[in-house]
């Protein structure tokens, strides 16, 4: 990315996080620019990261290699159509907008190399994970650029088919909420077992963090880690058996299936 120039269209939360990540990785402020209709948003991002900002999207993309679309899905059609007359064929378009397909973007932008990504909320803390899909027009060098861009806020994983982005949405896109739900439920159960609410909350949160760190850093998988902390006839086994008797695995499968289905349905609606 040492010579890559990037324009962010939309300078909201995700753009700010990506720009912060790229600057922390050593990208020069002169390599990055952003456009946004909000004067306050432009002033904030410019003050924080020292980058040039624009009110006009078409002006922002002049001379850049990568255009990162970081607007809400509902704004994507208008944004793409406004960029179309100014696009150069070699410019890579990277979209992080949930549910907007490459086919819709190609309709609105014309034939442009496109990488579609699904990041998640922990990207705001640079602890995210993104699924990435590239159209056939994307070169190997452009794939590397997209990979480096999204790696600025977490880890970035390539997918073989665009449809897999619905599964990514179900697993990691919506995933933080599942863990929040578990933290909520464990906290409530801890209170019912007699703990003060604040202590139950901290125990649940820190346990989630510690377990996630163990899973990420360990060289064995989650099933093995669970086996190692589940002594036969012990407390953990009693809890796990209760989860399983209540159909935990099947429930998770149904929940993620519902999210993936909704993701495909929303793509259909938003692409019109």
Ligand X SMILES: NC(=O)c1ccc[n+]([C@@H]2O[C@H](COP(=O)([O-])OP(=O)(O)OC[C@H]3O[C@@H](n4cnc5c(N)ncnc54)[C@H](OP(=O)(O)O)[C@@H]3O)[C@@H](O)[C@H]2O)c1
- The contact set with ligand X (CB under 6 A) reads 9-15, 35-38, 41, 57, 70-73, 75, 78-79, 96-98, 119-121, 123-124
Residue closer to ligand X, measured from CB, 69 or 200? 69
Minimal distance, residue 169 CB to ligand X, in Å: 9
DSSP string, 135-203: -TT--HHHHHHHHHHHHTTEEEEE-SSTTHHHHHIIIIISHHHHHHHHHHHHHHHHHHTT--HHHHHHH
Residue closer to ligand X, measured from CB, 19 or 96? 96
Beta bridge partners of 69: 9, 95
Residue closer to ligand X, measured from CB, 98 or 167? 98
Helices (H) and strands (E) in the chain, counts: 12, 8
C-beta separation of 109 from 85 below 8 A: no
**214/230 Cα distance (integer angstroms):** 15
Q: Any idea what DSSP says for residue 123?
A: G
Minimal distance, residue 32 CB to ligand X, in Å: 15
Residue closer to ligand X, measured from CB, 120 or 187? 120
Residue closer to ligand X, measured from CB, 37 or 196? 37
Residue closer to ligand X, measured from CB, 73 or 113? 73
The residue at minimum Cβ distance from ligand X is 12
Minimal distance, residue 138 CB to ligand X, in Å: 20
Minimal distance, residue 196 CB to ligand X, in Å: 32
For the chain, state the CA radius of gyration.
Answer: 21
Note the Cα 60 to chain centre separation in Å. 24
Minimal distance, residue 99 CB to ligand X, in Å: 7
Minimal distance, residue 220 CB to ligand X, in Å: 30
Which residue is associated with the tokens 């820190």?
206
């Amino acid at each position: 990315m040492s010579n890559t120039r990037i324009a962010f269209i939309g300078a909201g939360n995700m753009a700010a996080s990506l720009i912060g990540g790229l600057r922390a990785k050593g990208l020069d402020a002169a390599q990055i620019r952003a456009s946004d209709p909000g004067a306050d948003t432009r002033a904030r991002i410019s003050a924080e990261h020292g980058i040039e900002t624009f009110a006009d999207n078409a002006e922002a993309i002049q001379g850049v290699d990568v255009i990162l679309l970081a607007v809400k899905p509902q704004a994507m059609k208008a944004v793409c159509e406004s960029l179309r007359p100014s696009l150069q064929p070699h410019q890579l378009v990277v979209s992080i907008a949930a549910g907007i397909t490459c086919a819709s973007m190609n309709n609105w932008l014309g034939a442009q190399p496109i990488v579609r990504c699904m990041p998640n909320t922990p990207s705001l803390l640079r602890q995210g994970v993104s699924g990435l899909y590239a159209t056939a027009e994307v070169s190997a060098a452009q794939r590397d650029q997209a990979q480096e861009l999204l790696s600025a806020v977490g880890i970035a994983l390539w997918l073989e088919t665009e449809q897999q982005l619905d599964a990514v949405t179900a697993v990691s896109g919506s995933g933080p909420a599942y863990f929040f739900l578990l933290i909520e439920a464990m906290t409530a159960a801890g209170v019912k077992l007699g703990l003060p609410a604040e202590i139950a909350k901290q125990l649940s949160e820190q346990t989630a963090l510690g377990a996630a760190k163990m899973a990420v850093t360990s060289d064995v998988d989650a099933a093995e880690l669970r086996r190692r902390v589940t002594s036969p006839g012990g407390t953990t086994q009693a809890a796990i058996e209760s989860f399983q008797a209540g159909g935990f695995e099947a429930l998770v499968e149904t929940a993620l299936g519902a999210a993936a289905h909704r993701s495909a349905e929303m793509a259909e609606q938003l692409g019109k």
